[in-house]
Structure 1
Amino acid sequence: MKNKPASKEKRAQVKPVQNEQAQEKHEIRPGQSLELLKELHILTRDGKMNQDSRRKLKQVYHLYQFIEPLLQQVRSDRGSVSVVDHGAGKSYLGFILYDLFFKALNDGGQSRIYGIETRDELVQKSRELADKLEFPGMSFLNLSVADSTSSAELPDQIDIVTALHACNTATDDAIEFALKKKARFMVLVPCCQAEVAAELRKGKGDAVKNNPLSEMWRHPIHTREFGSQITNVLRCLQLEAHGYQVRVTELVGWEHSMKNELIIAEYKGMPARRPAERLAEVLKTTGLEGLSNRFFVPQ
């Protein structure tokens, strides 16, 4: 007796599951460890993704597209590559970088990723996961961004420095770290820049009271927005003053558009005087000269 063909209702029940699995398979990059994605809770134990995990994976992959060419460029020139990820958190980025790029290098462990994080429980979990997945070229340090600059656990020179959503002054600490470590590249996604806004709120001194542009931060909501904007402008000028070529773009796909700015800097050579002069002028005309030490330039 022949089996009856499946009813339209049953076929309709099967099709969406097949489509969902095909979509998830298509979204995962070739060579990506499924076990890693499960450990990072991007995939469930049965290999499925929800909307939140799909968004996280898309975000990390999008950022990887910016970083991969930098990794290739450094390795082509030097034979190995070192990365420090500041404010690493659960080290989504570090693990994805290692899985897609570092684990295939076979360079005797010369290439390495360092994750810097202040929360000890996250550092311990990252260490355990790296051991479990046999990722020997990953190190995780329980340090603040500022303390990492003088830590003996890190080499004197680092190729690429990343800081993604490092809150408030942590991004500036990461820039200082990168400058002292002579980093060739920096990849920065700034977050909640509160320090400059606080300085603006202290009041308008003689330097700005007759400046009509001070209207841009007269109202509290504008103070916050202008403070965020001017912070990144000052950072870019600082990097240019130190000899970096700076590109600013959107990190498309992140949930919060106010935290969607991506700064990529590449060291090109001698410090530049004009950006340093412009930075000093901006600090003076906005009454932010008290922050000169944070946005320091070559002497």
Structure 2
Amino acid sequence: MLAELRPGQSIELLQELHILTREGRLNQDSRRKLKQVYHLYQFIEPLLAEVSQGGHVPLLADHGAGKSYLGFILYDLFFKQLGRGEIYGIEWRAELVQRSRELAAQLGFERMRFFDMSVADAAAAAQLPERFDIVTALHACDTATDDAIAFGLQKQARAMVLVPCCQAEVAACLRQSKALALSRTPLAELWRHPIHTRELGSQITNVLRCLHLEASGYQVTVTELVGWEHSLKNELILARWTGTKKRSAAERLGAILEEFGLRHSLSARFGLTT
């Protein structure tokens, strides 16, 4: 067995996901992909073990699932051995959802469910459970990460694991108010040039998300998913429910929106009234 693989891991699964070749080999791109998923698994596995205590049946929602690499690996390494619990993969591209359903049936992964819908629509979907224990969103683009957070809040998730991607909304808002901001504060030089607008917008977005989660009763840890040589979209936000809603986080969230001229356009997205 290849040194990179975990004991008991399904070779058939890795071949179907094109992580392993039919000859059972890894190429450089696959090795990088496998390392990223394993690294994320190291963060999620302790959360799953915790919520599974006492015979609890863990439910996990994977938003923006794509080809469901993460969901299949989680099922193979954790849910299969546990013998209970379900994974719900949510993806808007119908052809990927159908392929995932076929692969789950082929492998006998009976407790995997796949739904063709957007992240934004998932919270109101009648076919999904009222509560989830863990919500993941790996590279859910732009506001889909915020939709995943809103989903997790509504479903009273005990933990959320988020790797944001392509944060464009805040940058667009910064561009709209750039002239006014330049006349008001020298700090607007931080986003005067387009490339800086994009980078700062991405940074602000994730800071606002963390404050939103803290204000909503979660303890938040931010780290990198894997080394920067593997992925430029590399920030991992790990939120665990504590029930302690930080008023100071809500106040700072409002202050940042105000400072950057974003309050009117983004207050509702981050749980604040205008």
Same structural fold, with TM-score higher than 0.5 when normalized by the shorter chain: yes
| Structure 1: distance between partners of 2:204 and 2:41 | 27
Decide whether the 8 Å contact of 2:190 with 2:196 is kept in 1. yes
Deviations 1:55-105 (A, max 9, x none): 111111111011100000110156221100000000000000000000112
Q: 1:257 to 1:43 in 2, by over 3 A?
A: closer
Q: Matches of 2:43 and 2:130 in 1, distance apart?
A: 25
The counterpart of 2:19, out of the listed 34, 42, 46, is: 42
What is the 5 A alignment of 1:63-78? 63-76=40-53
User: Aligned runs of 1:138-153 on 2, under 5 Å?
Assistant: 138-153=112-127
Larger Rg: 1
When normalised by structure 2's length, the TM-score is 0.95
Is the partner of 1:26 in helix, strand or coil? coil
Map 1:43-122 to 2 at 5 A: 43-76=20-53, 79-107=56-84, 111-122=85-96
CA distance in 1, matches of 2:83, 2:273: 38
Give CA deviations for 1:172-210 in whole Å, capped at 9, x if unaligned: 000000000000100000001000000000024767732
After superposing on structure 2, the runs of 4+ consecutive aligned residues of structure 1 that deviate more than 3 Å are 204-209, 253-258
| Unmatched runs of 5 consecutive residues or more in structure 1 | 1-23
- Equivalent residue for 2:133? 159
Give aligned pairs, total.
273
1:295 and 2:270 are equivalent in the alignment: yes
CA distance in structure 1 between the partners assigned to 2:156 and 2:13 by the alignment: 32
Q: 1:219-258 to 2 correspondence within 5 Å?
A: 219-253=193-227, 255=229, 257-258=231-232
Q: Which residue number in structure 2 is paired with residue 16 of structure 1?
A: none
Q: Which residue number in structure 2 is paired with residue 124 of structure 1?
A: 98
Structure 2, unmatched stretches of 5+, are none
The Cα of 1:212 is off from its aligned counterpart by: 2.4
What's 1:21 paired with? none
Q: Is this contact kept in 2: 1:208–1:285, CA < 8 A?
A: no
Whole-Å Cα distance in 1 between the matches of residues 163 and 190 of structure 2?
24
Aligned partners of 2:254 and 2:272 also within 8 Å: no
TM-score for both structures, normalised by structure 1:
0.88
Asked whether the equivalents of residues 178 and 192 of structure 2 are also in contact (C-alpha less than 8 Å), the reply is no
C-alpha separation in 1, matches of 2:224 and 2:55: 30
Aligned-partner SS, 1:25: coil
AA partner of residue 296 (structure 1) = G
Alpha-carbon distance in 2 for matches of 1:256, 1:47? 22
| Percent identity for Structure 1 against Structure 2 | 67
Bigger Cα displacement from structure 2, 86-95 vs 49-58: 49-58
Evaluate the alpha carbon distance shift between residue 271 and residue 282 of structure 1 in structure 2; reply closer, same or farther with a 3 A threshold: same
Structure 1, 203-212 or 30-39: larger mean CA deviation: 203-212
Q: Does the 8 Å contact 2:20/2:26 carry over to 1?
A: yes
Which of 177, 181, 195 is residue 169 of structure 2 equivalent to?
A: 195
Other structure's SS at 2:270 match: coil
DSSP-derived class of the 1:259 partner: coil
Q: Structure 1 residues 95 and 298, CA, compared in 2 at 3 Å: closer, same or farther?
A: farther
CA distance in 1, matches of 2:136, 2:244: 22
* Cα RMSD for the two superposed structures: 1.7
